[in-house]
Amino acid sequence: MLILLPPSETKRVGGDGPSWRADALSFPGLRAERDRVVDALITLSADEDAAARVLKLSERQRPEIAVNAALRTSPTLPAVDRYTGVLFDALDAPSLDSPARQWLSSHVAIHSAPFGIVRALDPLPAYRLGAGIRVPGLPSTRSIWADAVGDAIAAASPSFVLDLRSEAYVALGPVPSGIPQAYVRVVAEAPGGAVRALNHFNKHAKGELVRRLALTRPDATDAAALMRWAQDEKIVLRPSAAAGEWELVVPAVTR
């Protein structure tokens, strides 16, 4: 099973790993695209005003231009530790023991705009680039990544893909149609059965789901096995009315 996560705009700074190298990342078929995007970001960073405009940075965020300028020389952190924000705070990977982290490494990939998909423990530098940003000298991020990421997923030959990404990142690398898969939406169910989609709690619920998987490490190689695991864990994970989609149901929040 391969679980796909979105990145987060917020990240931890610094790191204690060696400087980033494209060949240190999983999914080696993406190396050319990675080098291309990183080089373009470094070039863009030489013009601070242009970089701020392209990356849509406020005055307070301008230090992030220097972060991009140092992409090839700054220290790294495991990808799952680099990201913060609601999903990754709920996952809380730094607090997991070694077996749980190794499970993440084998089963979780994070999708980013400059690197495509990477394994959870792959070393990443800090960076600034969102899914919708077009860097000068490059085509759109979708043009760069969509086919390449789809090919990388196919090359990994996962038995099943659980897609927890946002729709923006799904567009940057759709899972090939021949691979068994489910796209997850988080919903709240009221006592009367009414269902509504969630925003903030969507990310939190996905982070908690992946943490529970890492802690229990089920032998879930297909959709049926994952559904059985969820039932045993008292997690409501079910097919939705939309083809290829599942619902992760959380209790409705009453105010």
Provide the pairing of β-strand 181-189 with 195-197: antiparallel
Candidates 132, 142, 113, 124; CA nearest to 26 is 124
Q: Tell me whether residue 171 is exposed, middle or buried, using C-beta atoms within 10 angstroms of its C-beta: 0 to 12, 13 to 18, 19 or more.
A: middle
Q: Which tokens sit at 105?
A: 């490494």
Please state, as a whole number, how many other Cβ atoms lie within 10 Å of the Cβ of residue 70.
17
pLDDT given for residue 194 in this prediction? 58
Q: How confident is the model at residue 161 (pLDDT cuts 50, 70, 90)?
A: very high
Please state, as a whole number, how many other Cβ atoms lie within 10 Å of the Cβ of residue 222.
12
pLDDT at 192 over 70: no
The pLDDT mean for the chain works out to: 94
Domain total in the chain = 1
pLDDT given for residue 199 in this prediction? 62
Q: Structure pTM?
A: 0.94
For the ranges 10-24, 132-146, 182-196, 235-249, the lowest mean pLDDT is seen at 182-196
pLDDT given for residue 254 in this prediction? 45
Q: How confident is the model over 11-60, as pLDDT tens digits?
A: 999 999 999 998 999 999 999 999 999 999 999 999 999 999 999 999 99
Candidates 132, 133, 103; CA nearest to 40 is 133
Give me the DSSP letters along 30-49: GHHHHHHHHHHHHHHTTSHH
pLDDT given for residue 251 in this prediction? 76
Give kind and range of the element (H or E) at residue 237: strand 236-239
Q: How far apart are CA 182 and CA 7, in angstroms?
A: 19
pLDDT given for residue 188 in this prediction? 86
Q: How confident is the model over 197-250, as pLDDT tens digits?
A: 656 688 999 999 999 999 999 998 999 999 999 999 999 999 998 899 999 998
For the ranges 27-36, 61-70, 96-105, 189-198, the lowest mean pLDDT is seen at 189-198
pLDDT given for residue 189 in this prediction? 76
Contacts of 141 (CB under 8 A, 6+ apart): 113, 131, 132, 133, 134, 172
Give me the DSSP letters along 173-216: SPPPTTS-EEEEEEEEE-TTS-EEE-SHHHHHHHHHHHHHHHHH
Q: Which tokens sit at 149?
A: 């990421």
For the ranges 115-119, 176-180, 229-233, 240-244, the lowest mean pLDDT is seen at 240-244
Q: How far apart are CA 201 and CA 197, in angstroms?
A: 9
Return the percent helix, strand and coil in the chain, to nearest 5: 40, 20, 40
pLDDT given for residue 201 in this prediction? 81
- Domain extent, residue 147, equals 2-251
Whether 5 and 111 have beta carbons less than 8 Å apart is answered as: yes
pLDDT given for residue 48 in this prediction? 96
Candidates 180, 188, 249; CA nearest to 221 is 180
pLDDT given for residue 255 in this prediction? 41
